[in-house]
Amino acid sequence: MTYLQILLIAAVIVVVIARRFAGAPVRARSLVLPLGLSVYGVVLLRGRHIGLTDLVFLAVELVLAFGVGALRGTTIALYVRDGHLWQRYRWSTLAAWLGAIALRVGLAVGGHLVGVHIVTSSLLLALGVSLVAEALVVEQRARRHGAPILPSRRGVRV
């Protein structure tokens, strides 16, 4: 993974956090982007020599990413606006993001120390899995809320 790719990932995270702090409608198909990031993360791992240490690192990283994403999903405020369900990040959500970033840095340092070769290559996959978990928790909470959600943007004409 190049420095440009890492900067692009950081930019995606900043944009997601900024947009969600402003508030955004809960939409159908909220898993499309996170699943796409996850699939692309798997593509980045293809062709790499992955040993046992790498596999253990990847498993730990993905379990932690899913857990942190699910935790973040529980901190998001859900509210009705204009007749539809909206979501907004809270300060506790930002704290969960910062904790996840610190955890990832710790994993990267630890991974390098024990000889893991996929530390940077797995970053996008872990981000995607984290966002998938967040979206799944928000989706489940939205169903329990009962307010209508907006359909996907696809096929909507203005």
* Amino acid letter for position 48: R
Render pLDDT for 43-65 as a digit per residue (tens, 0 to 9).
988 888 889 999 999 999 999 99
pTM for this predicted structure: 0.87
Give, in order, the Cα–Cα distances in Å from 12 to each of 30, 58, 95. 16, 22, 17
Render pLDDT for 4-44 as a digit per residue (tens, 0 to 9).
877 888 888 888 889 889 998 998 878 888 999 899 999 98
